[in-house]
Amino acid sequence: MKSPAAVWFINGPNANLYGLTSVGVYGNETFADLQSRCERRALEEHLELVFRQSNHEGVIIDWIQEAMSRSQALIINAAGLTYTSISILDALLAYGQGGRPVIEVHMSNIHRREPFRDHSYMSKGATGIIAGFGSEGYELAITAARRLIDRNALAAG
């Protein structure tokens, strides 16, 4: 059986509005629906999940720093801050030191949208990126986190 591990999933601005505004590229599931899906997947993967959302950049940075001593992997959908926040990137780079995985996730394929979305600051701090799979991408990110944690544990011997 897989050993328990903690994964933090941090969501940025306006993610709390999923399913409450026009369907658009984000689907009709609410943020609470997404959280429930993620919690179920985490249980299947034998992971302890901390699932958070903030509209404030500094809060997100604080959570990434807190996760440094409390998790084995971090998943982030920085939402609109993906394209603007060097400070979140710096926090992700610090988190990833020592080989802790960072997974960047987006419900939409950011490279098929407006041109300003073509550059993600988060990507430089990410081990990998999942984009364009809608809410399923959230679950894929949790599965990927489990695999990366296991891979790190095997490498550590």
Span 30-49, pLDDT tens digits? 899 999 999 999 999 999 99
| Cα–Cα dist 33/19, whole Å | 9
47: alpha, beta or left? (left if phi > 0; alpha if psi -120 to 50)? beta
Name the CA radius of gyration of the chain, rounded. 15
Least confident segment among 11-15, 44-48, 56-60, 111-115: 111-115
Mean pLDDT of the chain: 90
Q: Roughly how many angstroms between the first and final C-alpha of the chain, as a whole number?
A: 17
The correct answer on CATH 3.40.50.2000 for the domain covering 5-108+119-156 is: no
Residues acting as catalytic residues: 26, 106
Q: What is the mean pLDDT of residues 126-152?
A: 95
Residues 6+ apart with CB under 8 A from 19: 26, 27, 28, 29, 30, 31, 33
Is 46:149 a contact under the CB 8 Å cutoff? Answer: no
